[in-house]
Amino acid sequence: MSKKGKENMAVELTFPDGSKKHYRKAITPLEVANDIGRKLAADAIAAKLDGVAVDLNTPIDKDSKFEILTFESKDGKEVLRHSAAHVLAHAVTDLYPKALPTVGPAVEDGFYYDFDMQPLSSDDLAKIEAKMKEIIKADLPFKRTVVPKKKAVELFKDNKYKVELIKEFGGDQVTIYEQGAFKDFCRGPHVQNTGRIGAVKLMKVAGAYWRGDAKNAQLQRIYGVAFPAEKMLKDYLHMLEEAEKRDHRKLGRELELFSLHEEGPGMPFFLPRGLGLKNKLIELERGELRKRGYIEIQTPQILSSALWTRSGHMDYYKDNMYFTEIEGAQFVVKPMNCPGGILVYNEKKHSYRELPLRVAEFGIVHRNELSGTLSGLFRVRCFTQDDAHIYMAPEQIRDEVTRLIDFIGDIYKIFGFDFHVELSTRPQNSIGTDEAWEQATNGLKDALEYKKMKYKINPGDGAFYGPKVDFHIKDAIGRTWQCGTIQLDMNFPQRFNINYVGVDGKEHRCIMIHRTIYGSLERFMGILIEHYAGKFPLWLNPLQVVILNVAERHSEACAELRKKLEENGIQVYADLRNETVEAKIRDAHLQKANYILVVGDKEVADGTVTARTRDNVVLGAMKVNDFIEKLCKEIEERK
């Protein structure tokens, strides 16, 4: 056979690391995975060809960008969870033949499926879950077929919901997946067989309307979680139990940190201790900003809609914005700080000698989140961003991004957080040229690789104006949270003519970085409350010491002690109630103060305090000055 003929029978696959390899035509992703290694093949859930998720047995008939999906990846999780949703529908229709399945997507923490059927109870869930486990154990293959739409309508003629979806689907053909006797209209992909799902747990049942419209039929929505292995499920359920104990909404009430009111949904009210905690976070970052050459500004809450049209927010972010009217003109309650900061930069000309110019703002922003998504401090409508916008020359990109990586890492280290990073590239709805996006993306990649940092790529998940590096911290019970971000922006500088005067005396276009470390201070506080289970380290705790009097005659000595502690910057509460010492110690433990001081006759006579920790370790009698010195040192060292 000629060399050309052989080439026509081969495909070239490009792997995520940029390497390439040739394979025979029609090879499947599973065969490629086996060629790479048995472990990868064992972990494989699905694959991606040119960015599109496919089944592992899909023939590869052209040169493609290729990636194996495992449960470690977001896409891999979605495939396994969606497959579990099909198993759920299979189990329900076996047990309740009159039930009509509608839709069953994967969601962030698991999956759900909506059914038109009788109301369900917890006993029903247990029965359905047992049936799901039977189907998983049977190891039934997921089979994909492509059929004409007319045939699909005929197949599902007894299910009006499926017929409606099929008729709306574009094209003349649709895909059907089946496992055993169960068939579903679905684009896929799915795991190879039901046994690959491993372990499932049904969590709850709730009401839902068809297509979210209250005018339509009410359905039964069953939620569940799925994992490749039983141990992963057990670990997840244990994490949920631990998370429930640490729920920041519950602890926020008990520790008197913040409150939520129906008069301001999604807009937290900070109580004195909560505001103290928030201010400590701001003070920490402000101190680090000064060391790193930042200046700080504050911009208005409400700005003309013309500004947001120019920035592109009116085209790409309008649904998340609040509007108001002033003297007949439309204004926007700012959802972001950057356009206001740009106005400040453009007030005067800047020289290359000023760059990089690092401008910080602790700005309050408002975003129109759906009421159903609001959750304590984790998802709010009003929050404070620890924003900074950095204006620089193109040749300064690598140095500035690497400095930011170090800055963010240094802050997270103080709280004991490990983190990983993800690089998000251009989304479908975005502004700017391909050239600008490529330059910005390569700039972030260059800095990450210069720092020798491992990173994951999230294709199409960037901001509408630029690519970004997101920092995901891991808390005490293993959950990850996206907090900090570095966004490299060449588009706003173009839209707003953000320039500097170069060495040659001519104007040159700036490169702009948007960055946060905490992200939302409110959300970061919620994470910290749960991370520490309310037991904040001394330097961070808004309630560091509780003083207890043994009897009424010791109240004056307690007041003097409180004053002395406060003069040294220690945050104190004196509990002088007419209660037993034991009762007051118990209440102090519930408030999670780091230290509890008992003042009685002996302490007054000796000029001492009897100290104990919140973990009930009795430190015994200490001279007041020695105790203050101990606390000040502990605060300074941020232990």
Q: Alpha-carbon distance 113 to 86, whole Å?
A: 8
Which pLDDT score, from 0 to 100, does residue 226 have? 96
Which pLDDT score, from 0 to 100, does residue 527 have? 96
Q: Alpha-carbon distance 102 to 115, whole Å?
A: 6
The residue ranges of every structural domain in the chain are 3-70, 75-234, 251-299+335-531, 545-637
Per the prediction, the chain carries an average pLDDT of 93
Query: What are the strands, taking DSSP E only, across 344-417?
Result: 357-366, 382-392
The pLDDT of residue 5 is above 50: no
Please enumerate in sequence order all residues whose Cβ is within 8 A of that of 588, keeping only pairs 6 or more positions apart, or say none: 546, 548, 575, 596, 614
Q: pLDDT by residue (tens digit) across 135-161?
A: 999 999 999 999 999 999 999 999 999
| Distance from the first to the final alpha carbon of the chain | 72
The pLDDT of residue 7 is above 70: no
Q: Alpha-carbon distance 120 to 128, whole Å?
A: 10
Contacts 24+ apart (CB under 8 A), 266-275: 266/369, 266/371, 266/374, 266/379, 266/380, 266/381, 266/382, 267/380, 267/381, 267/382, 268/377, 268/380, 268/382, 268/522, 272/542, 273/542, 273/543, 274/525, 274/542
122: pLDDT confidence band, cut at 50, 70 and 90?
confident
Look-up of token digits 């209440």: 587
Please enumerate in sequence order all residues whose Cβ is within 8 A of that of 583, keeping only pairs 6 or more positions apart, or say none: none
The mean per-residue pLDDT over the stretch 297-310 comes to 96
Q: What is the DSSP letter of 578?
A: S
Q: What is the CATH number of domain 75-234?
A: 3.30.980.10
Q: In this structure, what token pair is assigned to residue 320? A: 């998340």
% of the chain residues with pLDDT over 90: 82
% of the chain residues with pLDDT over 70: 99
Quick check: helix, strand or coil at residue 546? strand
Which pLDDT score, from 0 to 100, does residue 121 have? 87
Q: Alpha-carbon distance 476 to 231, whole Å?
A: 19
Which pLDDT score, from 0 to 100, does residue 461 have? 84
Which pLDDT score, from 0 to 100, does residue 327 have? 94
Q: pLDDT by residue (tens digit) across 486-545?
A: 999 888 999 999 999 999 999 999 999 999 999 999 999 999 999 999 999 999 999 999
Which pLDDT score, from 0 to 100, does residue 3 have? 45
The pLDDT of residue 2 is above 60: no
Q: pLDDT by residue (tens digit) across 231-289?
A: 999 999 998 998 899 999 999 999 999 999 999 999 999 999 999 999 999 999 999 99
478: pLDDT confidence band, cut at 50, 70 and 90?
confident
The pLDDT of residue 207 is above 80: yes
The pLDDT of residue 4 is above 60: no
Q: pLDDT by residue (tens digit) across 548-579?
A: 999 999 999 999 999 999 999 999 999 999 99
Please enumerate in sequence order all residues whose Cβ is within 8 A of that of 25, keeping only pairs 6 or more positions apart, or say none: 8, 9, 10, 11, 60, 61
Which phi and psi (to 5°) does residue 112 adopt? -145, 165
Which pLDDT score, from 0 to 100, does residue 99 have? 95
448: pLDDT confidence band, cut at 50, 70 and 90?
very high
545-637 maps to CATH 3.40.50.450: no
Which pLDDT score, from 0 to 100, does residue 6 have? 46
- What fold, for 251-299+335-531? BirA Bifunctional Protein; domain 2 (3.30.930)
Contact 105, 112 (CB under 8 A): yes
Which pLDDT score, from 0 to 100, does residue 8 have? 58
Q: What is the DSSP string of 461-527?
A: -SBTTB-EEEEEEE-TTS-EEEEEEEEEESSHHHHHT-EEE-TTSSEEEPEEEEEESSSBHHHHHHH
The pLDDT of residue 165 is above 60: yes
Contact 222, 92 (CB under 8 A): yes
What is the torsional sign of CA 603, 609, 613, 618?
negative
- Helix (H), strand (E) at residue 228: none
The mean per-residue pLDDT over the stretch 219-236 comes to 94
**Hey, which residues are catalytic here?**
338, 367, 385, 387, 389, 468, 514
Q: Alpha-carbon distance 356 to 165, whole Å?
A: 54
Which pLDDT score, from 0 to 100, does residue 586 have? 92
Q: Alpha-carbon distance 543 to 591, whole Å?
A: 8
Q: pLDDT by residue (tens digit) across 322-359?
A: 999 999 999 999 999 999 999 999 999 999 999 999 99
CATH class of this structure's domain 3-70: alpha beta
